[in-house]
Amino acid sequence: MCSLGDARALPRHCRIGNFERKVGIMAEPNIAKVTIANAPAQATVFEPNPQTINQFDSVFWSNETTDSHQPAPDGGADDQWVSRPIPPKGQSSQVVFEDTGTFPYHCAKHPDSATEKGVITVNAQS
- DSSP output for 61-105: EEE-SSS-B-EEEGGG-TTT-----B-SSSEEEEEE--S-EEEEE
Q: Write the CA distances from 77 to 30, 54, 103, 122, integer angstroms.
A: 24, 20, 10, 16
Residues 27-123, CATH architecture? Sandwich (2.60)
Q: What's the pLDDT tens digit per position in 12-36?
A: 334 444 444 433 445 567 888 999 8
pLDDT, tens only, 88-105: 998 999 999 999 999 999
Q: What is the arithmetic mean of pLDDT over 47-53? A: 94
Q: Where are the domains of the chain?
A: 27-123
Q: Is 59 exposed, middle or buried (0-12, 13-18, 19+ CB in 10 A)?
A: buried
Q: What percent of the chain has pLDDT over 70?
A: 74
Is the pLDDT reported for residue 55 higher than 80?
Answer: yes
> What is the model's pLDDT at position 113?
93
Q: How large is the average pLDDT for residues 40-49?
A: 86
| Stated length of the chain | 126
Percent of the chain with pLDDT over 90: 55
